[in-house]
Chain A
Amino acid sequence: MRIIAALVIFFFHFASTATAQDSLVARGEYLLHAGGCISCHTADEEDAVPLAGGRAMETPYGTFYSPNITPDDETGIGRWSDEEFLNALWLGIGPDGSRYFPAFPYPSYTGASEEDLLAIKAYLSSIEPVHKPNLKNDLRWYLSSRFAARAWQKMNFEPGRFQEDPERSAEWNRGAYLARHLGHCGECHTPRSKTGKLQQFKELSGNPAGPDGKKVPGITQDREDGIGRWSISEIEFFLEIGMLPDGDFASGAMSKVVDDNTSHLTDSDRHAIAIYLKSVKNSQDERPK
């Protein structure tokens, strides 16, 4: 009888841990979409395996190739500890101590919570490992030294978690967290300085030289050079299916973002992002002295 009771207890214990793990993985999968990981970590070929890396990203600094983030021990992140994973996303430091260039948007991810990032890691550990060696970045000569990224960080990067603004609503804070950090909207929509630092005083005001040399439109509340004329529900609708209020559909990079990221979000998260975007003024003239 006791044995049966023990077995029952053991079974329930095991089942509940399994469920907790399942729900962590499910949460991680959701956050992986919210983090927009898939579009960059998947090669462009049609039959490319998601998250196995190899996508070329042309920038003024050279061509970056996204790495494999499947749990393969040799070529992916299978051997990474939680701490190494957090160091990469919060600090831009690889397991071997090398520094990442900001083609990997850790200056945005640095604001993400530990809980969320470790859920993403749990999901990544649960998927099929893919053995696919990473391609070497092809950068301008002055960036080829391993110290270049370290120097870049010294000049341009401040790590730090997202701090809620108690003056604002919970929705706004959720939207700010998703847009600024996990969703890293500013990585494309905010202009950069000559050294590639995001110019936060011009947050989301558009980038004349975005990824792949493309012009990225502004998405502040400016009525001409932004989305000031869009209603909250039009923003939500765009994030869900990619349609602009005039009936046109997003193309290129943003189309991918809708496919891989924003269309997977819950209605309430899309609403939160819309609330946040409605608060972003075109602050080009408010450069701090």
Chain B
Amino acid sequence: MQRLFASAILALLISLSLSNPVGAETTAENAIKYRHAVMGTLAGHTSAFSMIAFGMVDHPEFLQSHANALADAGAQLKMLFPAGSGEGETHALPAIWEEPEKFAAAIDNAEKATANLRDAAASGDRKTIVSAFKALGQSCKGCHESYREDDDHDH
């Protein structure tokens, strides 16, 4: 009985900790680190996707999973730039917070481009895939051109 009680408490604690993994408010430093992590995820899947799509490796069965991962991470983009996360170890430019509407439109465009790539991959049509990939590239590059300082290529 005592053991059952103890494990119930433990289960409760675990579920509590999972439902609220960050107890306190996110610090700017962690917001930046998380942004870099997600951007790195995007880059990794983009690279892997392109290698399959453009025939550099023969793993067509994984194309869709990279596209899905891109769409999932793409949907997070709009949450990656909270106020205050422009200060610190980041190449994010102040324009992000100075022209929020324009930036939101650019982010929205990027999110749509990742969703579009997921659908294109599902279609299996090579031309659709290539043009969706180029469109995604345009939106990545468009944002980086206006909103990321181009000192080397950190995120």
CB within 8 Å for A245 and B141 given contacts A214-B150, A214-B151: no
**B140 on the interface (CB 8 Å rule)?**
yes
Is there contact, CB below 8 Å, between A243 and B46? Answer: yes
Is there contact, CB below 8 Å, between B47 and A251? Answer: no
**A56 on the interface (CB 8 Å rule)?**
no
Is there contact, CB below 8 Å, between A252 and B50? Answer: no
Of the residues A233, A248, A250, contact of B56 by C-beta under 8 Å: A233
The segment from A83-91, A112-120, A253-261 found at the interface with B is: A253-261
List CB contacts (< 8 Å) of A234-289 with chain B: 237, 241-256, 258-259
Is there contact, CB below 8 Å, between A243 and B50? Answer: yes
**A95 on the interface (CB 8 Å rule)?**
no
Which residues of A lie under 8 Å from residue B152 when comparing CB positions? 215, 217
A-facing mask of B113-152, CB < 8 A → 1, else 0?
0000000000000000000011001101110110011111
**B82 on the interface (CB 8 Å rule)?**
no
**B48 on the interface (CB 8 Å rule)?**
yes
Of the residues B42, B138, B149, contact of A252 by C-beta under 8 Å: B149
Is there contact, CB below 8 Å, between A256 and B145? Answer: yes
Which residues of A lie under 8 Å from residue B141 when comparing CB positions? 241-242, 249-251, 255, 258-259
Is there contact, CB below 8 Å, between B48 and A251? Answer: no
Residue of A nearest to B155 (CB): A248
A-facing mask of B34-65, CB < 8 A → 1, else 0?
00000000111111101000101000000000
Residue of B nearest to A212 (CB): B150
Shortest beta-carbon distance, A67 to chain B, in Å? 24
Is there contact, CB below 8 Å, between A241 and B46? Answer: no
Of the residues B42, B44, B145, contact of A255 by C-beta under 8 Å: B145
Residue of B nearest to A215 (CB): B151
Of the residues B43, B137, B148, contact of A246 by C-beta under 8 Å: B43
**B153 on the interface (CB 8 Å rule)?**
yes
Which residues of B lie under 8 Å from residue A248 when comparing CB positions? 43, 153, 155
Which residues of B lie under 8 Å from residue A256 when comparing CB positions? 145
Which residues of A lie under 8 Å from residue B47 when comparing CB positions? 243, 245-247
Residue of A nearest to B145 (CB): A255
Residue of B nearest to A242 (CB): B141
CB within 8 Å for A251 and B50 given contacts A241-B137, A243-B137: no
CB within 8 Å for A253 and B42 given contacts A233-B56, A241-B137: no
B-facing mask of A185-214, CB < 8 A → 1, else 0?
000000000000000000000000000001
Cα(A242)–Cα(B54), bound, Å = 15
Residue of B nearest to A210 (CB): B150
Is there contact, CB below 8 Å, between A241 and B43? Answer: no
Is there contact, CB below 8 Å, between A237 and B50? Answer: yes
Cα(A255)–Cα(B155), bound, Å = 15
CB within 8 Å for A252 and B137 given contacts A247-B44, A247-B46, A247-B48: no
Of the residues A233, A241, A244, A259, contact of B153 by C-beta under 8 Å: A244
Which residues of B lie under 8 Å from residue A237 when comparing CB positions? 50, 54
Of the residues A233, A242, A253, contact of B137 by C-beta under 8 Å: A242
Cα(A246)–Cα(B144), bound, Å = 15
Residue of B nearest to A258 (CB): B141
Residue of A nearest to B102 (CB): A46
Which residues of A lie under 8 Å from residue B56 when comparing CB positions? 233
Of the residues B45, B54, B142, B150, contact of A247 by C-beta under 8 Å: B45
Cα(A253)–Cα(B148), bound, Å = 11
Is there contact, CB below 8 Å, between A249 and B140? Answer: yes
Which residues of A lie under 8 Å from residue B148 when comparing CB positions? 251-252
Is there contact, CB below 8 Å, between A252 and B150? Answer: yes
Is there contact, CB below 8 Å, between B149 and A251? Answer: yes
CB within 8 Å for A253 and B150 given contacts A248-B43, A258-B141: yes
**21 A-B residue pairs with CB within 8 Å:** A214-B150, A215-B152, A217-B152, A217-B153, A243-B137, A243-B140, A247-B43, A247-B44, A247-B46, A247-B48, A248-B153, A248-B155, A249-B141, A250-B144, A251-B141, A251-B145, A252-B144, A252-B148, A253-B150, A255-B142, A255-B150
Which 4 pairs of residues, A with B, have the shortest CB-CB distance? A252-B150, A247-B47, A251-B144, A247-B43
Question: A residues within 8 Å of B by Cβ?
Answer: 214-215, 217, 233, 237, 241-256, 258-259
